[in-house]
Structures are given as structure tokens and as C-alpha cells.
């Protein structure tokens, strides 16, 4: 077989599985990025790999191929796939019932741990997804302030709820334009946009409309346009500006929470929001998320207060047990030290491999969140991120895939590592990248 045939045949079962999936689900997937559409331009005809199992740093597909996984379910799996402690905690629940619609002790245990370690969170409410967490926090901010408007950053993702599904406007502040049909303008008119890392724009919009703004919602480290850390004293000044205008500050830590530090990004940067949204790692890979914050605000949530929010499966024991087991490992071991060391060597190796091949990349990293942009220039916001050479990413992605490294199928996703991404796995990745970068260099 020649090289092309090898490639085609090694994904035969995934190809069949995806053809079937497409018949019964939109795009064959349950979340759009999984369809591999944005990396289709890398030269090969590729289909999404259908996964069979995962263990540690690796995932296995239905054809029997193995990959080092940097997707990690888009962030939750900080301990890698199927860690024993988490399976054991879940197995116990699976023998004794997994949802009751009545209080259980495990949800209080997780709530206690979360309020102990996240500095600004006094009281917490569990929900089922990050989308729900941010949607609810915004409702609470509006209830508490009696104001309607919300400011968000261009290119920050806060889930797919109507008022936050607002597209990038170029340049300075623009009125929110819905980024999907089905979202009425009447809703997004209350959503104002500013670029990330841009204090001048935030100051201007607050001066103009601050007394109508309920909250500024921001990812403390932007992770949904690639990984874009806050510059200098951005978060400190954001806090001051919000206080000046009586605007609540919401940190969307759905990605960063328990990922960059046990105390989340707020602890790392020493800036305290009024409300915090958490997700991903908090559920150890099960559907679970939360919002929490200052006691006086959280007591306005029903049934302590009038702001209504509920959920049939919220705080269900299976998710609580997985989250608790995960956070306990993070609390009781040197997980963050390990993640820091391993991801630092990944970053160093990737930069070296790119430079050896003569490909210019810009890398960013906070702990185990890693960003690599095909760009000659630094990336500080969405405009910078979208100016990158995405066609080169598609080539890079495909070459890595064929060599057994699973990256996110989009140039705008953060890479994640787990505690199981040890030296040998990182070195294997860097060796594959050396080949992939050469391929990119050869194609341009
Ligand atoms: C993933 C993510 C969300 C959405 O969470 P879902 O569980 O997918 O609804 C919201 N905000 C941020 C910052 C995220 O990374």
C-alpha cells in the first residue's frame, strides 16, 4: 500500500461510523466542532475519528489507532482518561442509585470543598453545563442590580444561551449582533461587546452606559480563541472600572477553574469577581457545572431569594462523586506542579520544532492551558487570533493525527494536558510536531 492507501484504510471503521451518525444527527455530532470541518483543508480527506476508549493520556479509536490526547474532552479530564480514583468513586454511586431529586451528602461535600478553595465563592449552586452556569449568573446579576445590559468580550465564549451568543464586531464597541439565526435582536441588543485585553474600550462603554449595565462577564484567561492570557494589570483594572460603575464582575471560569490553580484563575491573578462560573474540571468529566460568589448575591437565588433557577439532575450524585474525587486529587497531590513542568516542556519543544522547520508560531501558556498560533505576531485578542494562518493549522493537525497525536480540530481551541501527559508522551508529541512543521513549511 502506498502512503495514501494507508491513511484511508486506517480510518475505515471511523468512516463507516460517521456515515451512519450523519444520517441520524446533525453533522453526525452533538457539538459542532467535533465534525472536523475547520481542519478539512489540510490536504487529506478526513473524517472525525470515532473513539472507542481512553486511558491516561491516550484515546483509542474504533479502528484500533491510538492517539496522545490534547483535547481531553475540551478541558474536564485534568487527571487523564478513566483515572482509577474517579471510576471507584463513581462505581460506589452506581451501586446505590444516581439521582433522587432530593438532597444527598455528596453535593454538600463538593460545595464545601469548592467554597473552601475558591477565594471569592462563599455559596455555590450546581447546574449541568457551563452554558447553564453563565446564563444563571447573568440572570442573578440582572436581578441584583435591576439593570438589563451585559458587557462581554469579542471572541470569549460563554456557552450558547441567547444573550451571550453574540458575534464579534470589528474595531471598538459595537452593539451585539446575534451570531446565530434564532436569536432575536431584541435579546442581543442588551449585549455590548469590547475586545479582550482592551481597557480603553471597556472604560468608554462604561462611561457611556455604565448605569444600565448589570455585569461584565469575562474569561479571566480567554480560552476559546486559542489561549490568550490577560495582559499586565488587565484584570485588576477591570475590577476597579466595574466597582466605579456599580457593575458586577463575573469571571467565567468554566475552562480556567481548577485547571490553572485549585483556587481558579482568580487566585492565580489575585483579582476577586463578584460571581464565578465553573464547569469542565469541576465535574471530572461528567455533566456538571456551578455558579457561586458573594453571600449577599447568592442568597438571592431561589429558594433563599426570588431569582428562579432549577434543575432536575442538578447536583446528581454521579457527577458530584466524579467532581469530588477529581478535586480531592488536585488538592492532595502536587498535580499543578506536575502539570506546570510537563506543559512547560511541551511549549519549549513545540517552539523549538517550529523554529527548526522555519515556521513562525506564537505560543501562550498558563499552567496546563497551552496555545499555539500560526502567527508572526503576538495574540492579545480575537482580532489577532483570527488573523492567524488557519490553513497551516489544518495541515499541521492532519499530520499530527496521522502520527498519533489528537489535537482539537480547530485553530481556535486551547490545548490541554493532564497529569498523565508524562515525559515520554510529551517527547513523542514533539517528535511528531517536527515532522508536521516540516510538512507545513513544505506546503507554503
Ligand atoms: C466550555 C465553556 C462554556 C460552556 O460550557 P458547556 O458545558 O459546554 O455548556 C462556557 N464558558 C467557557 C469559558 C467555556 O470554556
252 included as an active-site residue: yes
For the chain, list the domains and their CATH numbers.
Answer: 3-82+334-443 (3.90.1150.10), 97-332 (3.40.640.10)
Contact 224, 33 (CB under 8 A): no
Which are the contacts of 347, defined by CB distance < 8 A and separation ≥ 6? 363, 365, 370
Q: Please report the atom of ligand 1 found closest to the CA of residue 277.
A: 11
Ligand 1 within 6 A of CB of 128:
no
Residue pair 279/110 in contact (Cβ under 8 Å)? The answer is no
> Which range is least confidently modeled, 54-68, 151-165, 392-406?
151-165
- Residue 157 annotated in active site: yes
Q: Is residue 336 annotated as part of the catalytic site, yes or no?
A: no
Of 326, 414, 329, 328, which Cα lies nearest the Cα of 368? 414
Distance between Cα 157 and ligand 1 center (Å): 7
Mutate to test the pocket of ligand 1, among 153, 219, 255, 265 (most ligand atoms within 8 A of CB): 255
Give 199-243 as a DSSP string: HHHHHHHHHHHGGGEEEEEE-SSB-SSS-BPPPTTHHHHHHHHHH
**Is the CB of residue 87 less than 8 Å from the CB of residue 93?**
no
Residue 159 Cα, ligand 1 centroid: separation in angstroms?
5
Question: From the CB of 291, is ligand 1 less than 6 Å away?
Answer: no
What is the structure's pLDDT at 171? 38
Ligand 1 proximity of 131 Cβ (cutoff 6 Å): yes
Q: Rounded mean pLDDT of 197-213?
A: 98
- The CA distance from 18 to 28, in Å, is 6
Residue pLDDT, tens place only, 343-373: 999 999 999 999 999 999 999 999 999 999 9
Ligand 1 pocket check for 129: Cβ under 6 Å:
yes
For the beta sheet containing 66-69, the strands, ordered from the edge strand earlier in sequence to the opposite edge, are 51-55, 58-61, 66-69, 405-406
Q: Which class for 91: exposed (0-12), middle (13-18), buried (19 or more C-beta within 10 A)?
A: exposed
Q: Kindly write down the DSSP assignment for every residue of 367-402, as one continuous string.
A: TTEEEEE--SS---SHHHHHTS-HHHHHHHHHHHHH
Mean pLDDT for the stretch of residues 168-188: 67
**Rounded distance from Cα 431 to ligand 1 centre (Å):** 32
* Ligand 1 near 158 CB (within 6 A): yes
Q: How far apart are CA 391 and CA 1, in angstroms?
A: 28
What is the tens place of the pLDDT at every residue in 224-241?
Answer: 999 999 999 999 999 999
Amino acid at each position: 500500500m502506498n502512503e495514501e492507501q494507508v491513511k484511508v484504510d486506517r480510518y475505515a471503521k471511523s468512516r463507516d461510523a460517521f456515515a451512519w451518525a450523519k444520517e441520524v444527527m446533525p453533522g453526525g455530532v452533538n457539538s459542532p466542532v467535533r465534525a472536523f470541518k475547520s481542519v478539512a483543508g489540510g490536504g487529506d480527506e478526513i473524517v472525525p475519528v470515532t473513539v472507542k476508549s481512553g486511558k491516561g493520556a491516550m484515546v483509542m479509536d474504533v479502528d484500533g489507532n491510538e492517539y496522545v490526547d490534547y483535547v481531553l474532552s475540551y478541558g474536564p479530564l485534568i487527571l487523564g482518561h478513566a483515572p482509577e480514583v474517579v471510576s471507584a468513586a463513581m462505581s460506589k454511586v452506581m451501586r446505590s442509585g444516581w439521582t433522587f431529586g432530593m438532597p444527598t451528602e455528596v453535593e454538600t461535600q463538593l460545595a464545601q470543598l469548592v467554597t473552601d478553595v475558591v477565594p471569592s465563592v462563599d455559596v455555590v449552586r450546581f447546574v449541568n453545563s457551563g452554558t447553564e452556569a453563565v446564563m444563571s449568573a447573568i440572570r442573578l446579576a440582572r436581578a441584583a442590580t435591576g439593570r438589563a445590559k451585559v458587557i462581554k468580550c469579542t471572541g470569549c465564549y460563554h456557552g450558547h444561551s441567547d444573550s451571550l451568543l453574540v458575534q464579534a464586531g470589528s474595531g471598538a464597541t459595537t452593539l451585539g449582533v446575534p451570531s446565530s439565526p434564532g436569536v432575536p435582536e431584541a435579546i442581543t441588543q442588551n449585549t455590548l461587546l469590547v475586545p479582550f485585553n482592551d481597557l480603553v474600550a471597556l472604560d468608554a462603554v462604561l462611561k457611556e452606559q455604565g448605569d444600565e449595565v448589570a455585569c461584565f462577564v469575562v474569561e479571566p484567561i480567554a480560552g476559546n480563541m486559542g489561549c490568550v492570557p490577560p495582559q499586565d494589570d488587565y484584570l485588576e483594572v477591570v475590577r476597579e472600572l466595574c466597582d466605579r460603575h456599580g457593575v458586577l464582575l463575573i469571571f467565567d471560569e468554566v475552562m480556567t477553574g481548577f485547571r490553572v490553580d485549585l483556587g481558579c484563575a482568580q487566585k492565580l491573578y489575585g483579582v476577586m469577581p463578584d460571581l464565578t462560573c465553573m464547569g469542565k474540571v469541576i465535574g471530572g468529566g461528567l455533566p456538571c457545572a456551578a455558579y457561586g460568589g458573594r453571600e449577599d448575591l447568592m442568597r438571592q437565588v431561589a429558594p433563599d431569594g426570588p431569582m428562579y433557577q432549577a434543575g432536575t439532575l442538578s447536583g446528581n450524585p454521579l457527577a458530584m462523586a466524579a467532581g469530588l474525587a477529581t478535586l480531592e486529587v488536585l488538592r492532595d497531590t502536587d498535580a499543578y506542579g506536575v502539570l506546570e513542568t510537563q506543559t512547560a516542556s511541551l511549549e519549549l519543544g513545540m517552539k523549538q520544532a517550529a523554529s527548526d522547520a522555519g515556521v513562525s508560531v506564537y505560543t501562550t501558556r498558563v499552567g496546563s492551558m497551552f496555545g499555539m498560533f500560526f502567527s508572526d505576531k503576538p495574540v492579545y485578542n480575537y482580532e489577532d487570533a483570527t488573523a492567524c494562518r488557519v490553513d497551516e493549522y489544518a495541515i499541521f493537525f492532519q499530520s499530527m493525527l496521522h502520527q498519533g497525536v489528537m489535537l482539537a480540530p480547530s485553530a481556535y481551541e486551547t490545548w490541554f494536558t493532564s497529569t498523565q501527559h508524562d515525559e515520554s508522551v510529551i517527547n513523542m508529541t514533539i517528535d511528531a510536531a517536527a515532522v508536521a512543521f516540516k510538512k507545513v513549511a513544505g506546503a507554503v
